[in-house]
Amino acid sequence: MNEEKYILFDQYLQGDMSTEERLNFEKELLANPELALALETFKEVQVQLESKFGFETERNAFEANLKTISNEHFKAEKPKVIRLKPWIYLAAASVVLLFGLFLFNPSEPKFEDYNQYENAYLTERGIGIEQLKEAENAFNAKDYKKAIPLFEAVLKENKSAEIQYFYGVSLLEDNQIQKAEAAFNEIKSGNSIYKNKAIYALALAKLKQKDYDSCKAILKAIPSDFENYNQVEELLDELD
């Protein structure tokens, strides 16, 4: 990415383009996915700089450290009329750093990329309890803090693996990890249809704690006939 592109990005984001220039630039963004991605990266860096280096002293110190990097990586001839604003050098150098860190230090998989759960449809299976209906609604609305005490009340009367699984997921999402693991381990020790789901949830609990070795070991114990085995394979690939 050369300096002229960064100038265009700055002009576009600051609203300094004419209507015709803006429309032409937006057409180019639609036709060039790489350019659009570069713009998004530039915007993200700008937001990060504004949030992390809002104080002038810190911003100047960071700029001084990164200008050297900018000079090494952006050697295009300086524009004859328009000069880059100092913060654009900062953003450009930051983009280089971000891509360098990504290439040489690939990030580990994140819990948030894998914590997709099926909705609970407990009351539709003949369990006519008002509290269970409330727990189901709270879980499906991702209001896990509200769902937890409701599930706990229901489990005193009906300790099915199904209810316990959704209770465990609610605990996991609410960062009550030890209690979540206890619930999943209890399901794991049985032979219900939720056994493999509980094992996968245990792996996610380890992922959330960044215990990647334990996560990997648990995933390898899941049989290939598990309904979401494609997610197991995907996560294993990310962990390798």
Range of the domain at 87: 3-104
Total count of domains within the chain: 2
Domain's final residue, options 104, 121, 151: 104
| Domain CATH for 204 | 1.25.40.10
- Are 122 and 51 found together in one domain? no
- Specify the DSSP class assigned to residue 81: S
Q: Is 42:95 a contact under the CB 8 Å cutoff?
A: yes
- Are 169 and 184 found together in one domain? yes
Give the amino acid at 28. E
Domain's final residue, options 44, 69, 104: 104
Predicted TM-score (pTM) above 0.75: no
> Distance between CA 27 and CA 19 in Å, rounded?
12
Between residues 8 and 119, the one the model is more confident about: 119
The confidence band for 72, taking pLDDT boundaries of 50, 70 and 90, is low
Winning range, highest mean pLDDT, from 15-24, 92-101, 137-146: 137-146
